[in-house]
Amino acid sequence: MIRRYAFSDLDGAKRRWLNAKHHFSFADYYHPERLCHSELMVVNDDRIAPYTGFDTHPHRDMEIITYVREGAISHQDDKGNKGRTAAGSIQVMSAGTGIHHLEYNLEDEETSLYQIWIKPARNGVTPRWEIAEFPKSPALNKLQLVFSGNGGAPLQMQQNTRIFVGHLNKDTKIEHLIEGKAYLLISKGNIVVNDRAANKGDGVAISHEIAVNITVMSDAEALVIEVPGLQDAR
C-alpha cells in the first residue's frame, strides 16, 4: 500500500521565526489518521529564520535525526556535545536517559531542515550525539545507507531502522527493497513511486510492500526511512 501525503495538505506551526509543516500529529497539531508510521513518530519540515531557534529543552527515550537541506543548525547539550551541522549533513541524537539541548540558526540565511523522531527499541540508553555528511555523488542504481540499527552505516541508531538517502539525476530508475514499513521524503524535485507521482515536500507512506520502483522525473533528492512494521500505518 502506498499513500502520498502532499506538502500542500500538511498542517503545522507558523511563528515569527519558524515555519513548520508536520507530516504526523505533533505539539498542537492533531490528525487522527496521521499519528505515526510504525515506530516513526515525527517528521517535521522546518524553516528557521536567521539568528533564531529552539531554546534549551529536554528529551528522553527518543532517536532524533536532523537533516539540514539549506543553511546550518548549531547544537549544544548538557552532555558536553557542541557542533554545527551544515547543509548536506545529518545529525542524530539518542536522548536515552535524558538530555537538554538547544538548536539555533546562527547563520545570515534561513535554515531548512527535516527533523525525524523514531521510537527506540529500548529505553534508558546513554545519550549521544553524532554527525555525518549526506553523500554528494548522485545515486545510480541504489540509495545509500546512512543510518542503521544493525551496523554497516556511518550513523547508528537504537532501533532496527534503516535510512537511505540520495541525490537522483533525471531519468534514473531504482528498485528499492524494503524491510518493514517505509516513509519516503522528497526534499527536491519530482519522482514517481510505482505509479504514484510525488513532488518536493511530499511524503509517501509505504506498507505491505517488499520493494518499490522509483523513477526520477527531474533532478531530485530523496530519503527513505524504514522502520519495523509493529503498528498499522496511520
In the chain the domains, ranked by start, together with CATH numbers, are 10-133 (2.60.120.10), 144-227 (2.60.120.10)
**pLDDT computed for residue 31 by the predictor:** 86
- The SS3 of residue 64 is strand
Cell numbers at 159, concatenated:
532501533
- Pairing of β 155-156 and β 144-148: parallel
Contact 188, 201 (CB under 8 A): no
As a whole number of angstroms, the distance between CA 127 and CA 199 comes to 35
**pLDDT computed for residue 233 by the predictor:** 38
**pLDDT computed for residue 5 by the predictor:** 95
Q: Which residue type sits at 120?
A: P
- The SS3 of residue 171 is coil
pLDDT in tens, 181-218: 999 999 999 999 999 999 999 999 999 999 999 999 99
Neighbouring C-beta atoms of residue 116, cutoff 10 Å? 25
**pLDDT computed for residue 148 by the predictor:** 85
**pLDDT computed for residue 230 by the predictor:** 54
List of E strands, 6-81: 11-14, 18-22, 40-48, 52-59, 63-70, 72-77
For the chain (length 234 residues), average pLDDT per consecutive 10?
94 94 91 90 97 96 94 96 93 95 97 96 93 83 87 82 92 94 96 96 95 96 88 40
As a whole number of angstroms, the distance between CA 21 and CA 48 comes to 12
With a CB cutoff of 8 Å and minimum separation 6, the contacts of 2 are: 193, 194, 196, 204, 205, 206, 209, 212
**pLDDT computed for residue 185 by the predictor:** 97
**pLDDT computed for residue 139 by the predictor:** 87
As a whole number of angstroms, the distance between CA 197 and CA 210 comes to 19
What are the distances in angstroms from CA 46 to CA 8, 65, 113, 117?
14, 13, 5, 14
- The SS3 of residue 9 is helix
Cell numbers at 132, concatenated:
555525518
What are the distances in angstroms from CA 39 to CA 31, 59, 89, 162?
17, 17, 23, 12
